[in-house]
Structure 1
């Protein structure tokens, strides 16, 4: 029962991590800039927004004209989301609380472990690309003019949180001890000790 609870916890954390990662990918505040006290500029992976009290947004039209950090982050985040979606299906099949692959406990535990490893890889990809994006912002901040400097947006922190949650959930699901079938050691002991009583 305890291992099933850990599996459910890992599945829930991974599911939340996937949702947070998707939200971060769609957010527009990957980097922000303030011009004066009221004018704001936000840039995301898919669109950019600017304005004072009311902001107007427009989608990025030309992929090749985008900065390298935006292109790379967009691609890796989509890869992470796809990998997490596949891991979600694999983990559902391998969890003890589902009826898939009944009677095949060893295969079921292996499937859950594979799903957990896929979640951990997806979370690691999110953390790596988000950290690299943040590093690029710092480099631009140090090199550019003060009026052209950008800072971290909220999406960067949301993406870090999504990657950590996905990795934590995958660690619980990928734990071999949590997913392996419970052995009836007590029954095995009784079955081996019973024949010995015939020799008394």
Structure 2
């Protein structure tokens, strides 16, 4: 059962890391609907802003300066880079904690490694969740602000995929963390046959060992009858 949980956790966590790493480019979207010819779609992400006309041709422009960006974009960049990096290292660590691999040591060591991978995946999911939520909060604040006169955007598809990937990453990490609990719950048995026999003999002779007992009591007149 523990091995099956680890396989499920690794599948969920690795798939969520792929979702976090490869999302659509549209973090925010704004449409300008007029006639069929003048319809245009404006969209942007953490690295550039683009416009797509009705024919499907896109023109993009990178942000001119990284240091001149708004603070929330820089924070989201750092959080998403951290989420991708943590997910990558978490996938490698999880391979050492799987029971189907020959590396990692004993079962207890593998359980600890799997728990460590779970913590890394949880941190990755939290970074992705925080980055997407911070970006979405900025979009919704500007959209519902009546004093904001610039172009207003709506939530893009990348945010929803990022939230889904972050949730799956956290779920997979939690399942990994339960593997150490399952390993500690499994009882361990040791063979103590000889000890039990000797202790039973000692108990039968009133707590005295056969070797230390009084020879007169062991070899009485009926010893050879």
TM-score, normalization by structure 1: 0.85
Choose between structure 1 and 2 for higher RCO, CA contacts under 8 A separated by at least 6 residues: 1
Deviation at 1:174, TM superposition (A): 1.4
- What residue is the counterpart of 2:162 in the other structure? 159
Can you give the 5+ residue segments of structure 1 that lack an aligned partner in the other structure? Answer: none
- What residue is the counterpart of 1:137 in the other structure? 139
- What residue is the counterpart of 1:100 in the other structure? 103
- What residue is the counterpart of 2:72 in the other structure? 69
Map Cα deviations across residues 139-178 of structure 1 (whole Å, 9 max, x no partner). Answer: 1112223x61110000110110110111111111111224
Deviation at 1:57, TM superposition (A): 2.1
Instruction: Give the distance between the partners of 1:101 and 1:159, measured in 2 at CA.
Output: 32
Runs of 4+ deviating beyond 3 Å: 181-185, 194-200
The question of whether the paired residues in 2 share the 8 Å contact of 1:28 and 1:47 is answered with no
Q: Does 1:35 align with 2:38?
A: no
Map Cα deviations across residues 45-67 of structure 1 (whole Å, 9 max, x no partner). Answer: 12221031222223323112323
The question of whether the paired residues in 2 share the 8 Å contact of 1:105 and 1:181 is answered with no
Instruction: Give the distance between the partners of 1:133 and 1:196, measured in 2 at CA.
Output: 71
- What residue is the counterpart of 2:3 in the other structure? 4
Instruction: Give the distance between the partners of 2:126 and 2:176, measured in 1 at CA.
Output: 15
Equivalent pairs counted in the alignment come to 192
Larger radius of gyration, structure 1 or 2? 2
Map Cα deviations across residues 13-72 of structure 1 (whole Å, 9 max, x no partner). Answer: 110111000112xx3210011122421100011222103122222332311232322221
Instruction: Give the distance between the partners of 1:109 and 1:71, measured in 2 at CA.
Output: 37
The 5 Å alignment of 1:75-90 reads 75-90=78-93
Secondary structure in 1 matching 2:144: helix
Instruction: Give the distance between the partners of 2:130 and 2:95, measured in 1 at CA.
Output: 26
The answer to which structure has the higher helix fraction is 1
Q: 2:61 aligns with which of 58, 61, 68?
A: 58
Secondary structure in 1 matching 2:67: coil
Can you give the 5+ residue segments of structure 2 that lack an aligned partner in the other structure? Answer: 205-225
